[in-house]
Structure formats: C-alpha cells, structure tokens
C-alpha cells in the first residue's frame, strides 16, 4: 500500500510521539517502582519498630513473673523459656531494623542500650539447672537457685529503670520512619499523576492510529470472511497459539463442538484443558507446548514424543454429568522471518476408535486372566480353594453389610472405609497365599480405590459407587473361580475313584455359609500347607532366604482356624517383607544366610498361645516413631513422649506402615490392625518383643474355645 508524503510524515510524527510517551511511561514506572519499594521497606521497618516498642514492658513483666515464681518456689521453666524467646525475637527484629539503616543515630542508641540489656540478661538466660532443693522439710532455693534469683532480681531492676529509655529510642526510630514514609508517598502521588497524563496522551495516539488502520482492516475483512468459510466446514478443531501460549482470534467451528465453549480468543492453552485432565497431565502438556517454541527443536522428533496424541478429557454430557472423551492433538510450527511465529494446533475426536481398541484389549486381558486363573488353580488344592471361596464369600457378605450401613458424616464414611480395608486385606492375603493372583490383583485394585477415597478431604455417599461396581466384578470373578474349582474337583474325583473307594467331599457351589464352622475343607493340615506355600512364594518374590518351622497347628480348635490363619498369613508376610534381611545383609551382620521363621501354637491351662518369631532385622522404636510422624499417624510432639513399649504398639495402628510405597504384600498399614482386631475379637491378648538386628517375637494369648464363644 502506497502513502503520500504528508501521510508518511504524519505517521512518523505519531510514531515519534508514541515513542516519547512510552519512554516517559517507562521512566515514571521505574521511578514509581523504586518509590513503592522504598515505602514498602519503610512500612515494614515501621511495623517492626512498633512491635519492638512493646518488648521492654514485656521483658519487665516476664522478669517480675520469674522473680515471683522463685519467691513462691513455683515451677519457672515455661517463664524462663518465654523470656528466652522474647530476647531472641527482640534480637532478630532489631537486626532487621539495623539492616535497613533508616535512622542510624537512633538505632545505634537503641542497640547500645539493648547490649546493656543482654549483658544483664545473659546470666539469667544461661541458667539451666534446678533452682530448688527438695527435702523432707520442704523445698528451698538451692545455691545455684539463689544465684539465679539474684541475677533475676538485678535484671528486673535494670529493666524497670531502662524500659522507658529503650521505648523512647524505639519511638524516635518510628517517628523518623513515619516522616520518611510520608515524604515518599507524596513523591509517589506526583509520579502517579504524571503517569495518568501520559496514559491519556497514549490513548489519544492509539485512537488516532486505530482510525488510520481502519482502511487497512476493511481490505483484510474480505480475506477473513473467506477464511471463516473454510473454518466452518472442516471437522477438526484448528487454532493458532502465540508466543504466550494463548489461542488466537481465529478457530474452526469444530473446536466449539469439541470443548463445548465459544470464548477461545486469548484463552491460555493451559486454561483450555484445566479441569478436564489430571494436574500431572496438564503440567506435561504445558511443558511440551513450551518445547515447540525452541529454535533447535526438530519437528519430527517433537511429534514422536507428543504426550497429547491420545488425551482423555472429562466433558459435560449436557445432562448435568460428566463423560470421558478422547482427543488427539497435532502440532505444526509456523515459521516467520525471526523464527517460530505461531504453533498450529489440530484437534480431532478419536473417542470411537479408542473405545474400540479398549474393547479389544479388554477381551485379550479377560482371556489372559482366565488363563492365569486356570494355571493358578492347577497348582492349588481344590479343597483349599473351596475353603477360601467360602471364606471370601463370607468376607464379601460382611463388606456388603458395611456398604449398606447408613452414614452421613465424614467420620462415619471413613469408619466404613476402615472396615472395608480390613476385610479386603484378609481376602487378598489368603488369595495370594494360594497363588490365585487374578483374585489377589482384583482385591488389590479395590484396596487402591479405598486408599484414594481415604485421601479425599471430604467424602459423600456417591464416592462409594465405583467401589460397588468393582465389588460386583470381583463377585463375578469368584463365581468363575468357584465353577472352575468344581470342575477340577470333579475331574480329580473321577480319576481317583474306583469301585469301593470313598467319595471326596462334594463341593458346594453356593455363595458361602453364614458360619465359619460350617465351611468345608478347612483343617489345620490345610493351614500348614497354605503357610508353607505362602512362605515359598514370598521368599521367591522378595529375594529372601528363610526357613519356616511350624509346630502345634493340629491343636488349633476349629473355631480358631480362621483367626489363626489371618494372623499367621499377615505375620508371615511382614516377616518376609520387613523382617528377614537379604542374604548379603545377613552375611554382613554375621548371621546365617538362611533366616529362621517359627510359628508355634500350644495349649495353656487354660487357653492357648500362638508364638511367631523371626530372626530378622527386628523393630527399632525410633524408626517406628519417625514413620508414624511421616505418615501423620501421630504428631512429632506425641512421638517425643512415647517410650519403647508405646512405640512398638504403633504397628497396630490403622494406616501405619514403615514403607512409603504400596505393594501386593505391604504398605497399606492394614495388616497388623487386622491381626489385633482378630485377636481382640476372640478375647485374646497380643504382645511384641524385639531386639533390633536380632529378632522379633509376637506372642498371642487366646482364651479357651468356650470362653471365646462367650466373648463373641
């Protein structure tokens, strides 16, 4: 476009005026910023000196209180600590005022007087002994107490005489600061007025330039109309990102349908995805967008690492709810004379293709799951699996009862979660022991969901709906396991029976029994086999070597089998994960490479005793307290008051674990709580003893079976 000489000169004049106004604005803003900084510093110092003015009177009061307590032979510790804290605070605040150097003369006088204070206060603060002697005749000041009393009295007299002087010096500093702040505020007002005038001039210049550009805009409007026609017809969402990662003024109509909004202009890319994706995904997407603006970034390489190639977003479904959709983002850099000018973003809805791929994947996973289930069951005794299924059915029946319990408050919801955790942990432990990993994995996933709910700040009834769905899936899977067990047992029966042989117990295909005593297939021999199988599995999975010794299991009463089973499984898992060290560590500690784990059940008169011991790393009370504070089970103040016995009792707290990560066998903080509840539910007692680096022993005392029934 050609311009006349007069028009060209006018444009140059406007540009020069705008540059001059901009320069003035920069100067005004810089000067205003410096003045504002000075005012802020003065206000901060003024606040500091205002607080300091109260300290002389506070010191006098504290010294008086300390002297009175010494006169009446009362405890002086907390007053002494408050006095020390006041002195420290005064030193810190005075140092901050001195660093600002706002009124050197007054501050020097105050600092000089304060040094006299510290000289007098030093003997008082240095006292750390016991000021009283306690005898049969009563309490009196000790020799060090009398010296302490004299120093307190001398410091009190000094403080009462010099408090007004120190207060006056600090007041002088405050007055100087007030004057300086007022002067700076006046200068700032002048600068702001100049800035307002400059803004008005700039606005006038901008208006003139806008009128001049109107002619050019009319010429560009036709091209924009054609561009809009194109953008209305494409099925993908297109938009441009500028150097500030904000969407430009033009986007395709499909973008409105994809995101359910129309206000894209100037919208930050981060805001486009906020509340639609998890925070971690959003942070990764923003980092990737920033990388696209790097001059050395290779576009083909950037496409290969695109984290938004298949992005799951949560969108409103138009009915007050949310639905998951999958979007595919593609990015192309638009180059200009000076490098990257814009980034062109193309967005497509690939929900249908993703769901189809997921259906195929789920079908494959189900097939693999069925195969894993069959392989696991081939290695397990069908009667033990049958007993487990009955126990799991009873446990899930209890879970269902817990889910149906009415709850209104957050505490009631969390109580339900605690009950669910214990039941699920018990089911998972036995499933893992029987190598029914398809069942254990599903229960582990349910435990993850319970942990996620526990992490929420507030719970409602609707939060439990996903758990109900997963529990239904687990029940369906257990029915499949039950049917497969029945078939395997039938095959075993057909292959092993001949004429005149006794029949094997018939497997019931029901959903479980109401009483544990009615469940078939449960015996002490099965329990021993189960524990030996679990020990081998744990040793293999955790790279440990240990020998499990079992004694007295035939003496376990039928009514105690389930409780002893749950306790033994959890204690064995804890020994394998936390107790027994790796072979290298045992060699370094001059211990046998193969660890020893012993479980013994024996009769008492009356009752029974279950002793579980391993020769592993033992329990360190300090380590337990540190873990409890880290997991927010107790506060640091509570931990400091615990003795060794109370520290060992922390392992029975719900949610306590020394591990920071969760695995299939540890980290939930549920297992030992489950053990304690099982023992206490039978009216028993549990004790723990340990020697760090040498052993850990759990001793469980149970009443006679009749007494336990009465307790239940």
For 109-138, what is each residue's pLDDT tens digit?
A: 878 888 888 888 888 888 888 888 877 777
For 505-548, what is each residue's pLDDT tens digit?
A: 333 333 444 444 444 445 666 788 888 888 888 888 888 899 99
Mean pLDDT calculated for residue range 399-416? 77
Residue 700 in 3-state DSSP?
A: strand
Fold match flag (237-352 vs 524-711)? no
Nearest to 696, CA basis, from 624, 581, 613, 625: 613
Strand order in the sheet with 685-691: 546-551, 595-603, 608-614, 695-702, 685-691
How far apart CA 218 and CA 220 sit, in angstroms, is 5
Mean pLDDT of the chain: 77
Under the banding of pLDDT at 50, 70 and 90, the label for residue 2 is very low
How far apart CA 629 and CA 667 sit, in angstroms, is 15
Residue 81 in 3-state DSSP?
A: helix
pLDDT for 489 equals 65
pTM over 0.95: no
pLDDT for 577 equals 86
Residue 547 in 3-state DSSP?
A: strand
Under the banding of pLDDT at 50, 70 and 90, the label for residue 614 is very high
Where along the chain do its domains lie?
5-204, 237-352, 371-494, 524-711
What fold is seen in the domain 237-352? Beta-Lactamase (3.30.450)
Point out the least confidently predicted range of 117-121, 162-166, 366-370.
366-370
**Could you tell me the two tokens for 287?**
């980092």
**How deeply is 469 buried, as exposed, middle or buried, from its count of CB atoms within 10 A (0-12, 13-18, 19+)?**
exposed
Mean pLDDT calculated for residue range 195-207? 71
For 233-280, what is each residue's pLDDT tens digit?
A: 777 888 888 888 888 888 888 888 888 788 888 888 888 888 788 888
Nearest to 599, CA basis, from 585, 588, 609, 586: 609
pLDDT for 511 equals 42
How far apart CA 373 and CA 463 sit, in angstroms, is 30
pLDDT at 376 over 60: no
pLDDT for 3 equals 47
Q: Which helix (H) or strand (E) holds 637?
A: helix 636-641
Mean pLDDT calculated for residue range 624-640? 85
Please indicate whether residue 480 or residue 280 has the higher confidence score (pLDDT).
280
> CATH assignment of 371-494?
1.20.120.160
Could you tell me the CA-to-CA distances from 175 to 38, 94, 166, 188, 663 in Å, in that order? 16, 16, 14, 20, 65
Please indicate whether residue 502 or residue 399 has the higher confidence score (pLDDT).
399
For 660-696, what is each residue's pLDDT tens digit?
A: 666 666 656 677 888 888 888 888 999 999 988 899 9
For 482-513, what is each residue's pLDDT tens digit?
A: 777 777 667 666 655 554 443 333 333 334 44
Residues 6+ positions from 296 with CB-CB distance below 8 Å: none
Please indicate whether residue 560 or residue 194 has the higher confidence score (pLDDT).
560
Percent of residues, the chain, with pLDDT higher than 70: 79
Nearest to 108, CA basis, from 42, 173, 58: 173
Domain 524-711 is of which CATH architecture?
A: 2-Layer Sandwich (3.30)
pLDDT for 435 equals 67
First-to-last C-alpha distance (Å) of the chain: 97
pLDDT for 507 equals 36
pLDDT for 1 equals 43
pLDDT at 707 over 70: no
pLDDT for 533 equals 85
How far apart CA 275 and CA 285 sit, in angstroms, is 14
pLDDT for 382 equals 64
DSSP letter at 246 equals B
Point out the least confidently predicted range of 233-237, 402-406, 455-459, 707-711.
707-711
Please indicate whether residue 515 or residue 405 has the higher confidence score (pLDDT).
405
Could you tell me the CA-to-CA distances from 640 to 81, 139, 181, 592, 653 in Å, in that order? 19, 30, 48, 36, 17
How far apart CA 418 and CA 455 sit, in angstroms, is 12
């Amino acid at each position: 476009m050609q311009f006349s000489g007069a028009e060209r000169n006018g444009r140059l004049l406007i540009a020069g005026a705008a540059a001059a106004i901009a320069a003035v604005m920069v100067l005004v803003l810089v000067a205003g910023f410096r003045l504002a900084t000075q005012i802020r510093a003065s206000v901060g110092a003024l606040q500091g000196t205002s607080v300091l003015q109260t300290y002389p009177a506070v010191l006098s009061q504290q010294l008086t209180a300390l002297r009175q307590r010494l006169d009446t032979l009362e405890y002086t510790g907390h007053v002494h600590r408050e006095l020390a804290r006041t002195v420290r605070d005064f030193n810190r605040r005075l140092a901050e005022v001195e660093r600002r150097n706002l009124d050197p003369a007054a501050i020097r006088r105050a600092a000089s007087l304060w040094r006299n204070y510290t000289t007098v206060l030093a003997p008082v603060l240095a006292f750390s002994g016991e000021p009283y002697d306690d005898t049969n005749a009563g309490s009196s000041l000790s020799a060090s107490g009398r010296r302490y009393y004299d120093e307190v009295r001398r410091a009190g007299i000094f403080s009462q005489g010099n408090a007004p002087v120190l207060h006056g010096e600090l007041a002088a500093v405050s007055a100087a600061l007030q004057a300086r702040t007022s002067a700076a505020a006046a200068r700032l007002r002048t600068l702001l007025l100049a800035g307002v005038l400059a803004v008005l001039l700039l606005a006038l210049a901008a208006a003139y330039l806008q009128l001049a550009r109107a002619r050019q805009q009319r010429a560009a409007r036709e091209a924009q109309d054609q561009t809009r026609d194109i953008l209305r017809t494409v099925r993908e969402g297109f938009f441009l990102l500028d150097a500030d990662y904000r969407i430009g003024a033009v986007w395709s109509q499909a973008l409105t349908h994809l995101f359910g909004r129309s206000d894209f202009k100037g919208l930050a890319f981060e805001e486009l995805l906020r509340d639609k994706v998890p925070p971690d995904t959003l942070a990764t997407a923003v980092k990737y967008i920033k990388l696209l603006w790097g001059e050395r970034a290779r576009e083909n390489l950037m496409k290969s690492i695109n984290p938004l190639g298949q992005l799951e977003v949560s969108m409103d479904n138009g009915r007050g709810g949310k639905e998951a959709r999958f979007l595919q983002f593609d990015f192309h850099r638009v180059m200009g004379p000076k490098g990257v000018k814009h980034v062109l973003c193309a967005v497509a809805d690939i929900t249908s293709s993703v769901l189809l791929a997921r259906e195929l994947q789920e079908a494959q996973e189900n097939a693999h799951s069925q195969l894993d289930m069959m392989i696991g069951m081939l290695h397990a005794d069908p009667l033990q699996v049958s007993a487990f299924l009955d126990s799991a059915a009873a446990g899930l029946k209890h879970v269902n009862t817990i889910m149906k319990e009415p709850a209104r408050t957050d505490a009631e919801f969390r109580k339900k979660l605690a009950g669910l955790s214990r039941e699920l942990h018990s089911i998972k432990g036995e499933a893992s022991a029987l190598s029914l990993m398809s069942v254990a994995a599903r229960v582990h996933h349910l435990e993850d969901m319970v942990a996620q709910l526990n992490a929420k700040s507030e719970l409602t009834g609707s939060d439990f709906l996903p758990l109900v769905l997963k529990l239904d899936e687990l029940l369906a899977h257990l029915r499949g396991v039950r049917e497969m067990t029945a078939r395997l047992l039938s095959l075993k029966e057909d292959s092993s029976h001949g004429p005149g042989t006794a029949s094997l117990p018939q497997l019931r295909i029901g959903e479980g029994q109401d009483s544990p005593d009615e469940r078939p297939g449960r015996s002490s021999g099965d329990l021993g086999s189960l524990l030996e199988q679990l020990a081998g599995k744990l040793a293999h999975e955790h790279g440990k070597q240990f020998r499990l010794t079992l004694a007295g299991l035939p003496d376990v009463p039928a009514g105690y089998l389930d409780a002893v089973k749950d306790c033994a499984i959890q204690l064995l898992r804890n020994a394998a994960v936390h107790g027994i060290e790796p072979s290298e560590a045992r060699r370094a500690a001059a211990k046998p490479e193969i660890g020893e784990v012993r479980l013994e059940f024996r009769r008492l008169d009356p009752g029974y005793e279950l002793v579980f011991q391993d020769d592993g790393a033992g329990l360190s009370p300090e380590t337990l307290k540190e873990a409890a504070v880290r997991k927010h089970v107790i506060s640091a103040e509570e931990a400091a008051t615990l003795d060794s016995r109370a520290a060992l009792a922390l392992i029975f707290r719900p949610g306590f674990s020394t591990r920071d990560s969760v695995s299939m066998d540890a980290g939930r903080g549920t297992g030992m709580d489950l053990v304690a509840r099982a023992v206490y539910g039978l009216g028993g007692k549990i004790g723990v003893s340990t020697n760090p680096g040498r052993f850990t022993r759990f001793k469980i005392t149970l009443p006679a079976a009749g007494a336990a029934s009465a307790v239940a």
